[in-house]
Amino acid sequence: MITIEINSITDLQEAAKKFLGYFPKPEVFAFYGEMGAGKTSFIQSVCKELNVLDMVTSPTFSLVNEYISSQHGTLYHFDFYRIQNIREVFDLGYEEYFFQDQYCFIEWPEKVESLLPGSTIKVYLEVVLQGKRRLSFSASGE
């Protein structure tokens, strides 16, 4: 397990750069963490590193946002916090997103665990102290 300490909001961009250094190609990332842990903020920083041209916001009500990167094409950002049942995810056509060779960021993956590809990178973000976070994950091949 690899750990990146994020001591303040000003460290987010450097943490995102370091994180992406472990993943030379697009992956499906599942972000686990309590409400307010900073999942969306971290994904925003990752998207900035990936040269996303769009405004990155939480897709809490739309379930999925699509962003365009000048270098990586389309990226997908999911937030499953508000889903009531797994059928909503089937209706969304999740397979078309999860099984492409594109970056895919998933918040609240606990709600769709059974649908995640086996190769999904599980990323844990936890509050250590006020303003400090710990990011942990296993890189490909570990």
The single-letter code of the amino acid at 86 is I
Residue 140 predicted with pLDDT over 60: no
What CATH homologous superfamily does 2-137 map to? P-loop containing nucleotide triphosphate hydrolases (3.40.50.300)
Q: Give the per-residue pLDDT at 138.
A: 87
Strands (E), the chain: 2-6, 28-32, 64-69, 73-79, 104-107, 121-129, 132-137
Using an 8 Å Cβ cutoff, are 126 and 37 in contact?
Answer: yes
- Tell me phi and psi for residue 73, to 5 degrees: 75, -140
Domain ranges of the chain: 2-137
Rounded to whole angstroms, the Cα distance separating 102 from 41 reads: 20
Residue 16 predicted with pLDDT over 60: yes
Mean pLDDT of the chain: 91
| pLDDT (average), residues 70-91 | 92
Using an 8 Å Cβ cutoff, are 35 and 67 in contact?
Answer: no
Q: Does the reported pTM lie above 0.85?
A: yes
How much of the chain, in percent, has pLDDT values that exceed 90? 75
What are the tens digits of pLDDT across the range 97-125?
999 899 999 999 999 999 999 999 999 99
What are the tens digits of pLDDT across the range 47-78?
999 999 888 888 877 889 999 999 999 999 99
Rounded to whole angstroms, the Cα distance separating 34 from 40 reads: 12
| Higher pLDDT pick, 44 / 36 | 44
